[in-house]
Chains A and B, each alone.
Chain A
Amino acid sequence: MTSGVLNLVLKRLGIAAVTLLIVLFAVFFATSMLPGDTASILLGQAATPEAVAGLREAMHLNDPAILRFLLWLLGLLHGDLGTSYANEMPVAALIGGRLVNTMKLAGITTLLSVPLALTLGITAAMLRGSVYDRTVTILSIGVISVPEFMVATLAVLLFAVYLKWLPALSSVNEAHSLTDLVRIYAMPVITLTFVISAQMIRMTRAAVIETLSTPYVEMALLKGASRSRMVLRHALPNALGPIVNAVALSLSYLVGGVIIVETIFNYPGIAKLMVDAVATRDLPLIQSCAMIFCLGYLFLITAADVVAIMSNPRLR
């Protein structure tokens, strides 16, 4: 790697850091806008004004917002995510196990959808205009055009209601055997795979088709290269940057996807935790969950940019 690449990558990471700060700020202030006085909500209507004032003092609610933001940031640096309002437990403890569950769900989905989508996207581009290509294209437009909850409900209708192969709800604790495991993860994973693969297929196909129309691919044709050689040796290496970008961008759709999927299938992940926290107005919990989601999202789009920079042959 040359210093040019290193500089670009460092610059990109710097931008990511600045972005992170802005995002943390936005998350903090959005949640601070919650109407009503947190202290009186927590203590209930029977609370005496003195108790409310005391609690406000204890929670630093009287301090200016910017100070609270800095205190919150300082806490984050120490790994202190705060204490849940709803059940007085440390947020870190609430999130821990849930985060692992969500990561499992996202990991399995990624392992399944990336190879599937790349294969479909690349082969559709190779067979451009064929019945196969048209089918893939129409299906992916269809999946992109409907909300995630519809994909999920259709999956439930098909696999749980008609075929009765899988349960409609997930409960991780009841996993005793491999079959149980498959049955638990199948529905959420199928739904998520559909949702993120569609986007990935479209973008991969577009990237490969774009490189297939370059003069150097025409040159390869005029050297007598076969169709597969043109795609594999000449188009694909140059479409790598856009494809990796497509993968990372699509994976970032996971964030939106899990929020719906975990709610529908009652999957005990961090998204479900957050939706529940929104219902109970549990401020520290919402902040932490939102932060984790933003972090994951930011990580993915930054990774995409870095890979795109590194795969650019002109920078080697």
Chain B
Amino acid sequence: MSNLVEVRNLRIEAKTDSGRLVEIIKGVSLDIADGEIVALIGESGSGKTTVALSLMGYARPGCRITSGEINVGGKNMATLSEKERARLRGTDIAYVPQSAAASFNPSSTIMEQVIEVTRIHKLMPPEQARQRAVELFRALSLPDPEGIGTRYPHQVSGGQLQRLSAAMALISDPKLVIFDEPTTALDVTTQIDVLKAFKSVMRAGGVAGVYVSHDLAVVAQIADRIVVLKGGEVQETGTTAAILSAAQHPYTRELLAAFEPKPRQAHADADAATKQLLRIDNVTAGYGPVRDDGLPLIRAVDSVSLVVEKGRNLGVIGESGCGKSTLARVIAGIHPAATGDIVFDGKDLQRAARKRSQDQLREMQIVFQYADTALNPAKPVEDIISRPLAFYHRLDRQARAKRVDELLDMVRLPRGLRYRHPSELSGGQKQRVNFARALAANPKLIICDEITSALDTVVASAVIELLKELQRELGLSYIFISHDLSVVEAICDEIMVMYNGERVEQITPDKLTAPTHPYSKLLFSSVPKLDPTWLDGLVRDPELVSQYGHR
């Protein structure tokens, strides 16, 4: 046997709520050579994690490996007894989970969990294991490698936990490490450090790896070969360079196309007398007890001013915790500002939504990131969309039904969907319904809070296209809040960069290559490119990183 891993015709079945059996992996075959890193890429539901876990002979509760061979190091994981599998788990094959924060036991110290594998399999004395762990911490460039092990998981940041879980996987010198979307939950500036650390230790040890991800650009940096999955089947396999430059399969091309920057053509009427739609001046808002000066203890948004012009879009970009979502809620009046003025369509707005007039509320709509929680699961689509029609426009039943049809057409959903409940829709469909509800109010401004972040790349780019079209037809303005630069770039006329509650820079998309503020520089340079040499060639100013990096 020449390859470390040889999977042949793997089939996995899952049991649905009603007890029906559904095949979720339909005859997957793949090879991994010694020391090779292979990426499994695909959207949610493509079966990539299921395939990766099957390499450990493990299927999540409700799933069952029905047939096929999973040869790892000459042993067929599919046919081994549970005891024999347990002997290989952690020693020969190790796992780095998607959410390290949830995968560390909260009641035990980090060191105890990192060296647990050596205890379970009696690989080495604990003292030696601890030394080895500290070496790994150092190799993964974790801060305070000597002391970090004595802490509890909740005392360490997400990016650090992700690297610690890599140390946990590598401590036993495994032949194969499975990375399950290990950087998906991280900010871009943190993601770079984690990716670099992974890459260097994997290279140094000559360890083979499986890297599960939905992000082609990330995968391009670390994988030797790419396997594209969809609907439980392999669509295409090839070296990273081949897939990126000469993809054969239409689905792969679609994935790649979603990455193509589609610069927004500048407004023809850009020079026409533009009118201010929304202006906020020196708005400060936050959480915690109010201090003597009337400001909250923790300031999530700190003296931010911005202007949105009619028919134009403002993007707000920043990493998690920078205050961009709070800003959206402040503008919408959900989280009233402590100080500052909000002027909308020429009139002063009350800070709290419940003090605003019904028309003011109607003209400014907000659309949230998770359509799952933004749509009432107990109501059919029709009721969800027609409520604003009844509430704001007092339409009768017939008029509402007609308007719901129009709105569904506008967001490119089949009219028959109106009878379904949100749980019966796909992620993209839900987000379109979410948007249709905002449109039902006939707003002038729609605040979009990370509305594409929970969607697969291909679906997200379709939603963005829809938004652009609707803007042309209806003359809307958007405030587009996102952590994803490419999304904001695609749709916005102005981009505001936020850091630590403050506005650090405002820039137009054509000047994105030359930001002036150091944080914007760091942020923009951290966005992975489809170029496999990008990570290795990336040089970052260490001073910048230490100032703005992993907080």
Q: Determine how close the nearest CB of chain A comes to the CB of B163; give it in whole angstroms.
A: 15
Q: Chain B: which residue is nearest A222 at the CB level?
A: B95
Contacts of B97 in A (CB 8 A): 215, 219
Contacts of A221 in B (CB 8 A): 58, 89
Contact with B along A286-316 (1 / 0, CB 8 A): 0000000000000000000000000001101
Is B117 in the interface zone, CB < 8 Å from A? yes
Question: Please, how many angstroms separate the alpha-carbon atoms of A226 and B117 in the complex?
Answer: 11
Is A214 in the interface zone, CB < 8 Å from B? yes
Contact A313–B106 (Cβ < 8 Å)? yes
Contacts of A220 in B (CB 8 A): 105, 116
Question: Please, how many angstroms separate the alpha-carbon atoms of A225 and B106 in the complex?
Answer: 17
Contact A223–B103 (Cβ < 8 Å)? no
Contact B108–A237 (Cβ < 8 Å)? yes
Contact with A along B71-102 (1 / 0, CB 8 A): 00000000000000011111100110101001
Is B104 in the interface zone, CB < 8 Å from A? yes
Question: Please, how many angstroms separate the alpha-carbon atoms of A214 and B154 in the complex?
Answer: 16
Residue of B61, B86, B95, B106 near A238 (CB, 8 A) is: B106
Specify which of B56, B58, B88, B116 lies most central, judged by the most chain A CB atoms within 10 Å of its CB: B116
Is B120 in the interface zone, CB < 8 Å from A? yes
Is B152 in the interface zone, CB < 8 Å from A? yes
Contacts of A25 in B (CB 8 A): none
Is B2 in the interface zone, CB < 8 Å from A? no
Is A216 in the interface zone, CB < 8 Å from B? yes
Residue of A226, A233, A314 near B86 (CB, 8 A) is: A226
Contacts of B61 in A (CB 8 A): 213
Question: Please, how many angstroms separate the alpha-carbon atoms of A313 and B108 in the complex?
Answer: 8
Is B121 in the interface zone, CB < 8 Å from A? yes
Contact B102–A224 (Cβ < 8 Å)? no
Residues 139-175 (chain B) with a chain A CB within 8 angstroms: 152, 154, 168
Contact B105–A222 (Cβ < 8 Å)? no
Contacts of A225 in B (CB 8 A): 86, 90, 116, 120
Contact B152–A234 (Cβ < 8 Å)? no
Contacts of B89 in A (CB 8 A): 221-224
Is A229 in the interface zone, CB < 8 Å from B? yes
Question: Please, how many angstroms separate the alpha-carbon atoms of A234 and B106 in the complex?
Answer: 9
Q: Determine how close the nearest CB of chain B comes to the CB of A281; give it in whole angstroms.
A: 52
Q: Chain B: which residue is nearest A238 at the CB level?
A: B107
State the main secondary structure of chain A at its contact with B.
helix
Indicate whether A216 sits within 8 Å of B104 (C-beta atoms), given known contacts A221-B89, A313-B154, A316-B152.
yes
Residues 406-455 (chain B) with a chain A CB within 8 angstroms: none
Question: Please, how many angstroms separate the alpha-carbon atoms of A316 and B152 in the complex?
Answer: 9
Q: Determine how close the nearest CB of chain B comes to the CB of A227; give it in whole angstroms.
A: 9
Q: How many residues of A contact B (CB 8 A)?
A: 22
Q: Assign chain B's interface to a size class.
A: 20 to 34
Contacts of B107 in A (CB 8 A): 237-238, 240, 313
Residue of A214, A240, A313, A314 near B102 (CB, 8 A) is: A214
Question: Please, how many angstroms separate the alpha-carbon atoms of A216 and B104 in the complex?
Answer: 5
Contacts of A218 in B (CB 8 A): 60, 103
Specify which of A225, A226, A229 lies most central, judged by the most chain B CB atoms within 10 Å of its CB: A225
Residues 64-109 (chain A) with a chain B CB within 8 angstroms: none
Contacts of A214 in B (CB 8 A): 102
Contact B120–A314 (Cβ < 8 Å)? no
Residues 180-221 (chain A) with a chain B CB within 8 angstroms: 213-216, 218-221
Question: Please, how many angstroms separate the alpha-carbon atoms of A307 and B107 in the complex?
Answer: 15
Indicate whether A223 sits within 8 Å of B154 (C-beta atoms), given known contacts A215-B103, A314-B106.
no
Question: Please, how many angstroms separate the alpha-carbon atoms of A229 and B117 in the complex?
Answer: 12
Residue of B58, B104, B154 near A222 (CB, 8 A) is: B58
Contacts of A213 in B (CB 8 A): 61
Q: Determine how close the nearest CB of chain A comes to the CB of B58; give it in whole angstroms.
A: 6
Q: Chain A: which residue is nearest B83 at the CB level?
A: A226
Question: Please, how many angstroms separate the alpha-carbon atoms of A67 and B103 in the complex?
Answer: 59
Contact A238–B117 (Cβ < 8 Å)? no
Specify which of A215, A216, A218, A238 lies most central, judged by the most chain B CB atoms within 10 Å of its CB: A216
Question: Please, how many angstroms separate the alpha-carbon atoms of A229 and B105 in the complex?
Answer: 13
Contact A224–B91 (Cβ < 8 Å)? yes
Q: Determine how close the nearest CB of chain B comes to the CB of A48; give it in whole angstroms.
A: 66
Q: Determine how close the nearest CB of chain A comes to the CB of B408; give it in whole angstroms.
A: 38
Contacts of A234 in B (CB 8 A): 105, 108
Question: Please, how many angstroms separate the alpha-carbon atoms of A271 and B108 in the complex?
Answer: 44
Q: Determine how close the nearest CB of chain A comes to the CB of B551; give it in whole angstroms.
A: 20
Contacts of B90 in A (CB 8 A): 222-225
Q: Chain B: which residue is nearest A237 at the CB level?
A: B107
Question: Please, how many angstroms separate the alpha-carbon atoms of A238 and B106 in the complex?
Answer: 8
Question: Please, how many angstroms separate the alpha-carbon atoms of A240 and B105 in the complex?
Answer: 13
Question: Please, how many angstroms separate the alpha-carbon atoms of A225 and B514 in the complex?
Answer: 52
Q: Chain B: which residue is nearest A213 at the CB level?
A: B61
Contacts of B154 in A (CB 8 A): 313-314
Contacts of A238 in B (CB 8 A): 105-107
Contact B102–A223 (Cβ < 8 Å)? no
Specify which of A213, A233, A234 lies most central, judged by the most chain B CB atoms within 10 Å of its CB: A233
Q: Chain B: which residue is nearest A235 at the CB level?
A: B105
Contacts of A224 in B (CB 8 A): 86-91, 117, 120-121
Contact with A along B469-481 (1 / 0, CB 8 A): 0000000000000
Specify which of B99, B102, B104, B105 lies most central, judged by the most chain A CB atoms within 10 Å of its CB: B105
Contacts of B91 in A (CB 8 A): 224
Contacts of B106 in A (CB 8 A): 216, 238, 313-314
Contact with A along B35-68 (1 / 0, CB 8 A): 0000000000000000001001010110000000
Q: Determine how close the nearest CB of chain B comes to the CB of A4; give it in whole angstroms.
A: 12
Residue of B53, B108, B117 near A223 (CB, 8 A) is: B117
Q: Chain B: which residue is nearest A226 at the CB level?
A: B86
Q: Determine how close the nearest CB of chain A comes to the CB of B97; give it in whole angstroms.
A: 6
Indicate whether A216 sits within 8 Å of B105 (C-beta atoms), given known contacts A222-B58, A224-B88, A224-B89.
yes
Question: Please, how many angstroms separate the alpha-carbon atoms of A313 and B94 in the complex?
Answer: 27
Question: Please, how many angstroms separate the alpha-carbon atoms of A70 and B103 in the complex?
Answer: 55
Q: Chain A: which residue is nearest B118 at the CB level?
A: A223
Question: Please, how many angstroms separate the alpha-carbon atoms of A308 and B105 in the complex?
Answer: 17
Contacts of A216 in B (CB 8 A): 102-106
Contacts of A223 in B (CB 8 A): 89-90, 94-95, 116-117, 120, 168
Question: Please, how many angstroms separate the alpha-carbon atoms of A237 and B108 in the complex?
Answer: 9
Q: Chain A: which residue is nearest B180 at the CB level?
A: A222
Contacts of A314 in B (CB 8 A): 106, 152, 154
Question: Please, how many angstroms separate the alpha-carbon atoms of A222 and B87 in the complex?
Answer: 10
Give 6 A-B contacts (CB < 8 Å), ordered by A residue. A216-B102, A216-B106, A218-B103, A238-B107, A240-B107, A313-B152
Where the two chains meet, the residues of A that have a C-beta atom closer than 8 Å to any C-beta of B are 213-216, 218-226, 229, 233-234, 237-238, 240, 313-314, 316
Q: A223-B117, A224-B87 are in contact. List 6 more A-B contacts (CB 8 A).
A: A216-B105, A223-B95, A224-B117, A225-B116, A229-B120, A238-B107
